[in-house]
Amino acid sequence: MPKIKLAFIQTSPVFGCIEKNTTDAVRRIAALDADIVVLPELFSTGYQFKSAAEALKYGDDAVSGYAASALSAVAKEKGVFISAGIAERYKGKAYNSAILVGPSGFIGVYRKAHLFWHEKNIFAPGNTAFKVYDIGLARVGMMICFDWVFPEVMRTLALKGADVILHPSNLVLPYCPDAMITRCLENRVFAITANRVGVEERIKGRALHFIGSSQITAPNGSVLCRAAKTRAVSKVIEV
C-alpha cells in the first residue's frame, strides 16, 4: 500500500436534521487533506428511531439520496473516498447501511449484519456480502459498529484482501476501541472507527450515551490516534 492519509470525522448530529448534519459533514470533509474519510453510523439522521416506520420515513436512497449525493459531490471536488453510515430505504425496507463513494461517485453499499439491541425492531437485517473494493490507493472493506463484536467480519474482509477497514459507528459500550487493537493485530489491517458523541433519549428510559473515542488503529495493534469522548473532532493520519 502506498502512503495514504486516513481520516475520521467524529460528529454530534441532531436527530432528524438530515440537511444540517450532512452540510456540517461536507464542510468538515472539504476542510481536510485526506485520501479516505470515515463518518459515523447513521451520520445524517441520528440514531434512535422510535419505530421501523420512522426509519423508513427518514430513510433515503444509497445512491441518489440527499446524503449520498452531497457526499459524492464533495468526494469528486476533493478527490477523496468517503464511507458513511445512513438510514437506507430500499424496496420498502429500512437498512442500517454504510455507503462508499469516491471521485467517480457511488462505489458500494454495505447493510449492517449484526443489528444492536433495539435496532432489530427498526431495521431489516443486512443482505449484502462482506465485500472488498480496490480503490487504487488501497483495498477497503466496510463494517458497521456492533459488527466489531464478531471476529468473523474483519476476518472475512481480511481474507478477501482488505488493507483498511472502514468502520462507521455509534458506539455506546466502552469496549470497542480497545478490541480494535486485537482485531487489527490478528488480521494485519488498518481500521478507521468513526464514532459520534452526545446523548439521545427519544424513547423515555432508553437514553444512549455515545462514547466518542473514534480511532485509527494500525496492523501492529498501535492506536495511531483516539479522539476525545465528548467533542466533535476530525483527525487525519498518514500511514
Query: Which residues form the catalytic set?
Result: 41, 112, 145
Number of H helices, E strands in the chain: 5, 14
Distance separating alpha carbons of residues 162 and 54, to the nearest angstrom: 35
Question: Cell 439491541, residue?
Answer: 117
What's the rounded Cα separation, in Å, for the pair 200 and 78?
A: 32
Rounded Cα distance between 96 and 108, Å, is 14
34 binds ligand ACM (CB under 6 A): no
The answer to whether 223 and 217 are in contact (CB under 8 A) is: yes
* Nearest-approach distance from CB 176 to ligand ACM, in angstroms: 8
Per CB under 6 A, does 170 bind ligand ACM? yes
Among 132, 145, 189, 211, binds ligand ACM (CB under 6 A): 145
146 binds ligand ACM (CB under 6 A): yes
Nearer to ligand ACM among residue 147 and residue 163 (C-beta) = 147
* 62: contact with ligand ACM by CB under 6 A: no
With helix as H, strand as E and coil as C, how does 107-118 read?
EEEEECCCCCHH
172 part of the interface to ligand ACM, by CB under 6 A: yes
Q: Tell me the closest approach of the beta carbon of residue 145 to ligand ACM, in angstroms.
A: 3
> Residue 41 interacts with ligand ACM (CB under 6 A)?
yes
Binding mask 182-211 for ligand ACM (x = CB under 6 A): ------------------------------
If you ran DSSP here, which 8-state letter would residue 221 be given?
S
Tell the smallest beta-carbon distance from residue 66 to ligand ACM (Å).
22
Strands 164-168 and 190-194: parallel
Tell me which residues touch ligand ACM (CB under 6 A). 41, 116, 145-146, 170-172
